[in-house]
Amino acid sequence: MNSLNEFTGQARELMRRDTTWPFLVPRRRSPDVSKNVILYLEGLSVSFDGFKALNDLNLYVNDGELRCLIGANGAGKTTLMDVITGKTQCDSGSAWFGQNIDLLAHDEAEIAQLGIGRKFQKPTVFEAHTVFHNLELSLQGSKGVWSALTAKLSGAERDRIDEVLNIIGLEKARFQMAGALSHGQKQWLEIGMLLAAEPRLLLVDEPVAGMTAEETERTAELLTSLAGKHTVIVVEHDMEFVRSIARTVTVLHQGSVLAEGTMDQVQNNRDVIEVYLGEEA
C-alpha cells in the first residue's frame, strides 16, 4: 500500500504540468576549472583581408576573476570577444573553456548555452518587447523551438526575473518597452539579460559608454559584485572606470598582449608608455 502511494506520488510528479521532464532539460556541461583557470586562449590569430586583427594572442583568465582589457581603438578587443563567443572563426590558435571544452568546436548558440554571456559594444536589447520579456527570453533553460512554444514561466523563473530587475534597478520599468529606455538603461538591461542567464563567464564590451557619472559608478559596483561568483572580462576605454574596478589589467596592442598586471604596474610599463605616448593613459 505504502509503495503504491509512493508510486502514484512519483507518477504525479512526473506528470506535473508546470515542469519539464528532467531528461528533456539539456544538461549544461560545466567547465572543468580544477586548475583554477577558466579561459585558456593560446596563439590566437585572426586576419581580415590580410590585416591581422589578432596576432598570436595568449591570455589566461582565472575562475572568478574580474579582468579588464584595455587598448586603443582597433587593438582587437571586440574581435577577441567574437572569437570566444563563436562569432568569428580564427585562423590559428586554441580557445578552451576550462580544461574540457574546446570553444572553437562550438557555435554561438552552443557557447551561450555553455554559460558564456556577452554584452555588445552597442547596447542591444529587444526593443519591441517589455523589459520583463527581455529578461524572460534570456533565462537559462532549453532554447529549442518546441519548448519555446509550450513554455510557461515557473515561480522560480519569475523570482529570478524579479531578482535581476532589482539588481539592475529597473523594477519600475518592468512593463516598459525596451525601445523606450534611455541609453544607460539599455546598457543595464543588457547586463541584466546576461545575469538572467546565469553565465559562468561574462564578456562585457564597453559597458559605460554613454553613461552618466552616477550610472558609471553604479555599473562599477555591479561588476565588482559579480566577480567571484562569475568570471567577468570587461573591455573599457574609460581609465577612471578601469582603475575603480580592476585588479588585473591586460593591455592589447595590435592584436596581441602588450602587458599584464595591476593598474599601477601597467601604467608604469615601458612598452605601454611608449605605445600610449601622448595619450592620456
Partner 1 sequence: MIRVNPALNTVVKNVWSTVGSVLSNLRQPGKGSSMLVGVLLVTTLAMSAANLLLPVDSPLYVSTYTITLMGKYLCFAMLAMAVDIIWGYCGILSLGHGAFFALGGYGMGMYLMRQIGDRGVYGNPDLPDFMVFLNWQELPWYWSGMDQFWFAVLMALAVPGLLAFVFGWLAFRSRVTGVYLSIMTQALTYALMLAFFRNEMGFGGNNGLTDFKDILGFDLQSDATRVGLLLVTTLLLVIAILTSRAIVQSRLGRVIVAVRDAEARSRFLGYRTEHYKVWLFVYSALIAAVAGMLYVPQVGIINPGEFSPLNSIEVVVWVAVGGRGTLYGAIVGALLVNYAKTRFTAIMPDGWLFALGALFVIVTVYLPQGLAGLLQRFSGDKPEQAAGRELDSDASNGVSGREANA
Ligand X SMILES: Nc1ncnc2c1ncn2[C@@H]1O[C@H](COP(=O)(O)OP(=O)(O)O)[C@@H](O)[C@H]1O
Contact positions toward ligand X, by CB under 6 A?
48, 53, 71, 73-79
Using CB under 8 A as the binding rule, the residues of this chain from 84 to 103 that contact partner 1 are: 85, 87
Query: Contact at 8 Å (CB) between 192 and 135?
Result: yes
- For partner 1, the closer of residues 67 and 106 by Cβ is 106
Query: CA-CA distances (angstroms) from residue 262 to 93, 130, 186, 249?
Result: 26, 40, 30, 6
Q: Which residue is nearest to Mg ion (CB)?
A: 78
| Strand 66-70 relative to strand 231-235, pairing | parallel
Asked if residue 149 binds partner 1 (CB under 8 A), the reply is yes
CA separation for the pair 22, 189 (Å, rounded): 30
User: Could you give the strand order of the β-sheet that contains 51-62, starting from the edge strand earlier in sequence?
Assistant: 51-62, 37-48, 92-97, 101-102
Q: What is the x/- site pattern for partner 1, positions 169-208, by CB under 8 A?
A: ------xxx--x------------x---x-----------
Using CB under 8 A as the binding rule, the residues of this chain from 245 to 274 that contact partner 1 are: none
Q: Which triple of cell numbers denotes residue 67?
A: 579582468
- For partner 1, the closer of residues 179 and 228 by Cβ is 179
Least distance from Mg ion to the Cβ atom of residue 207, Å: 12
Query: CA-CA distances (angstroms) from residue 271 to 54, 243, 244, 257?
Result: 18, 19, 23, 11
Residues that bind partner 1 (CB under 8 A): 85, 87, 108-110, 112-113, 117-118, 120, 124-130, 132-133, 136-138, 143-145, 148-151, 153, 158, 175-177, 180, 193, 197
Residues that bind Mg ion (CB under 5 A): 78, 121
